[in-house]
Structure 1
Amino acid sequence: MRQPFYFLLACLLLGTLATNAQDYDLDDLRHKPDSNSLKVAVPELDIRPVTLPISALDLQVIYWRHWSSFGINANQSSFSDNWTGGGVNSISVGLLLNHKSDYTRNNTNFVTELMLQYGKQKNKDQLPRKNNDRIFWDNKLSVKVSNHWSLFTSLTFESQFDIGNSYGKDADGRDSITGIISNFMAPGYLTESLGIEYKPDNTFSVRFGTGTARQTFILDDRLVPTEATGPRFGIEPGERFRNDLAFQVTAFLDRNIAQNLNLKSRYNLFANYEEITDPSHRLDATLTASVTRLINVTLSGILLYDSRLHENIQTSQTLALGLMYKIPR
């Protein structure tokens, strides 16, 4: 009798539970932590101006660039007394100093370039003779107006260091000095120019000096032209000074044409407005081959035509082995 009773009681309890049963989502039964369970203190902002000290290592923009080179060239040849192939014992030494400074800021550019060259040669049974002598100082200020064009003004000085002599034979047949043909500031040239410049890159440029003036000086009394000598360096007898107004074209090239091979040249055309059909021309070119960092071989030449100096073209050529030290290296 008890078993049916317990069975009936269990059925009643299960029915009651089934009547009161509800569906629950397990995710809802999981404990969700409070989002602010970890309290973080938020500091108050304290904004105030701070003065920074100027550092002792403060960087500055340098607008100047400088290049310098010092060189010595030498040539020597000697022959024994019984040498049947012909030849003359000789030795020559040349010194040179080049310096260039460049200032570039925005569209303004200033360049100054100084070239000093001097050399002498001694042949057997002859007096020493100059084989190189030049002072050249060029200054140019330009303002760029487009990518490749600029307005410029320039000032150039040219002369030489030493006396230039003429040579001949004395009564005994020995080599002797027969006269003087040039000296420092005899002649000396000062050229001012104003115009436009075309510069497509840093290795080549052309100046067109539409407004150019050149002064020629003779400051050695022995070289002042006379009626007997006639005009000298374009200066009339009895005068020491001449001023020319002219059109001038000046082209520069300084380019590495191969590894360790550099070509540097300067061409100048000067046409006096009063003698525009007979301009003067001068071309200076130097080809330098670097054998080592210090040793180089140079081939240089000058081609000059100026009817006031001589009616024909003048040329000069030099091949030399020398030492060259450059800063920066």
Structure 2
Amino acid sequence: MKRRFYSLLILLLVCISIGRAQIYDLDELRYRPDSNSLKVEKSEPGIRPVKLPMSTLDLKVIYWRHWSSFGINANQASFSDNWTGGGVNSISVGALINHKSDYTRNNTNFVTELMLQYGKQKNKDQLPRKNNDRIFWDNKLSLKISNFWSIYTSLTFESQFDVGLMYGKDEEGNEFVRTDTTLSAFMAPGYLTESFGVEYKPDNTFSLRIGTGTARQTFILDDRVVPTFTPRFGVEPGRRFRNDLAFQLTANLDRNIGKNLNLKSRYNMFANYEELSDPAHRLDATLTASVTRLINVTLSGILLYDSRQHEEVQTSQTLALGLLYKIPR
């Protein structure tokens, strides 16, 4: 009995030892292959920061805008000696230069406008005489306070190029220049106007200035035009200068009323505070019809009332065919 017991015990220990030995052998002999059959050396990725050159856009904000125009107008009429309908041979030539610059930044606006006009006319049996002569330079600085209203200050200069002459006829009917009387000349008169007030501008084609504080100086710097016995251009005899404090209205219109039709006008009312009941008025209007890019027909008119120059209304009207070159086109 004991012998059988010991035999079973020895057999059990041997089985346990063999089981442990198999488990150990299997773990040692187990083969775990690599993911690749061939060994490949992996290189380290060469990643480094690179600074790319930033291309700067060469953009500039241009606050200035410019417009210029140059024109030559001509009129001509001729009649044969046996023409029974009446008429006078005549020819007239005129030139004009207009320039406008506009600076706008935020609520600040500055505009300068220069207009130079000169023309001469020659009729048969008459001496040449000018039919157009003007220098006009207007400068305005404004600060916008609402959508349509601004506070402005302006400086305007006006005069002419050539001498205004008077003509007479001798006993034989020949025309001559009167040397005893000169009507006008450069800076005789010349006007310098400073104004301060408010401006109403609903769009880019119309503006109205209300100058509550306006001063205008009148100059007569040519000895031939200086008044001697009666006032001329409001300047007292023997004097060359006059200063006025006034209320001023200035309306400007520059609008295309058709495809090739433009209307440009300027109205100015100047009322001296000492003579408010008798203000001076001037209306300049020009209607331009473009036939081609260069050829145009121009109808111009001036209406002027200034009791210091003449008691009645003065008018001027011209119709011309000419060449007009604009920049930008």
Q: Scaled by the length of structure 1, what TM-score is found?
A: 0.83
Q: Distance in 2 between matches of 1:219 and 1:51?
A: 69
Q: Specify whether residues 238 and 54 from structure 1 end up closer, same or farther in structure 2 by C-alpha distance, changes over 3 A only.
A: farther
Q: Distance in 2 between matches of 1:71 and 1:291?
A: 14
Cross-structure match for 1:326: 326
1:311 CA drift (Å): 0.2
Written as runs of structure 1 = structure 2, the 5 A alignment for 1:27-46 is none
Q: Distance in 2 between matches of 1:47 and 1:272?
A: 77
Q: Distance in 2 between matches of 1:318 and 1:147?
A: 38
What SS does the aligned partner of 2:274 have? Answer: helix
User: Which of 182, 185, 192 matches 2:184?
Assistant: 182
Q: Distance in 1 between matches of 2:207 and 2:189?
A: 28
* Amino acid in the other structure paired with 2:276: I
Cross-structure match for 2:246: 246
Cross-structure match for 2:276: 276
Q: Distance in 1 between matches of 2:123 and 2:224?
A: 27
Cross-structure match for 2:255: 255
Alignment length (residue pairs): 285
1:171 CA drift (Å): 2.7
Q: Which stretches of structure 1, 4 residues or more, deviate above 4 A after TM superposition?
A: 43-48, 50-55
Q: Specify whether residues 215 and 54 from structure 1 end up closer, same or farther in structure 2 by C-alpha distance, changes over 3 A only.
A: farther
1:54 CA drift (Å): 6.6
* Amino acid in the other structure paired with 2:165: N
Cross-structure match for 1:114: 114
Cross-structure match for 1:79: 79
Structure 2: 5+ residue stretches without partners: 1-44
* Amino acid in the other structure paired with 1:93: V
1:255 CA drift (Å): 0.2
1:176 CA drift (Å): 1.2
1:53 CA drift (Å): 5.9
Deviations 1:240-293 (Å, cap 9, x if unpaired)? 000000000000000000110000000000000010110000000000000001
Deviations 1:114-137 (Å, cap 9, x if unpaired)? 000000000000000110000000
Deviations 1:172-212 (Å, cap 9, x if unpaired)? 21111123100000000000000000000000000000000
* Amino acid in the other structure paired with 2:267: Y
Q: Distance in 1 between matches of 2:275 and 2:327?
A: 43
Q: Specify whether residues 240 and 44 from structure 1 end up closer, same or farther in structure 2 by C-alpha distance, changes over 3 A only.
A: same
Written as runs of structure 1 = structure 2, the 5 A alignment for 1:204-223 is 204-223=206-225
Q: CA RMSD in A?
A: 1.9
Q: Does 1:61 align with 2:61?
A: yes
Written as runs of structure 1 = structure 2, the 5 A alignment for 1:146-157 is 146-157=146-157
Q: Scaled by the length of structure 2, what TM-score is found?
A: 0.83
Cross-structure match for 1:196: 198
Q: Identity across aligned pairs (percent)?
A: 81
Q: Distance in 2 between matches of 1:52 and 1:135?
A: 55
What SS does the aligned partner of 1:206 have? Answer: strand
1:46 CA drift (Å): 7.3
Q: Distance in 2 between matches of 1:295 and 1:191?
A: 35
Cross-structure match for 2:93: 93
Q: Distance in 2 between matches of 1:145 and 1:44?
A: 62
Structure 1: 5+ residue stretches without partners: 1-42
* Amino acid in the other structure paired with 1:144: K
Deviations 1:206-244 (Å, cap 9, x if unpaired)? 0000000000000001111112xx000000011000000
Which structure is larger by alpha-carbon Rg, 1 or 2? 2
Cross-structure match for 1:308: 308
Cross-structure match for 1:286: 286
Q: Specify whether residues 140 and 51 from structure 1 end up closer, same or farther in structure 2 by C-alpha distance, changes over 3 A only.
A: farther
Q: Which moved more, 1:139-148 or 1:167-176?
A: 167-176
Deviations 1:115-174 (Å, cap 9, x if unpaired)? 000000000000001100000000000010000000000000000000000112123211
What SS does the aligned partner of 1:223 have? Answer: coil
* Amino acid in the other structure paired with 1:217: F
Cross-structure match for 2:42: none
Cross-structure match for 2:168: 168
Q: Distance in 1 between matches of 2:255 and 2:165?
A: 36
Deviations 1:19-77 (Å, cap 9, x if unpaired)? xxxxxxxxxxxxxxxxxxxxxxxx999779x695674x611011000000000000001
* Amino acid in the other structure paired with 2:95: L
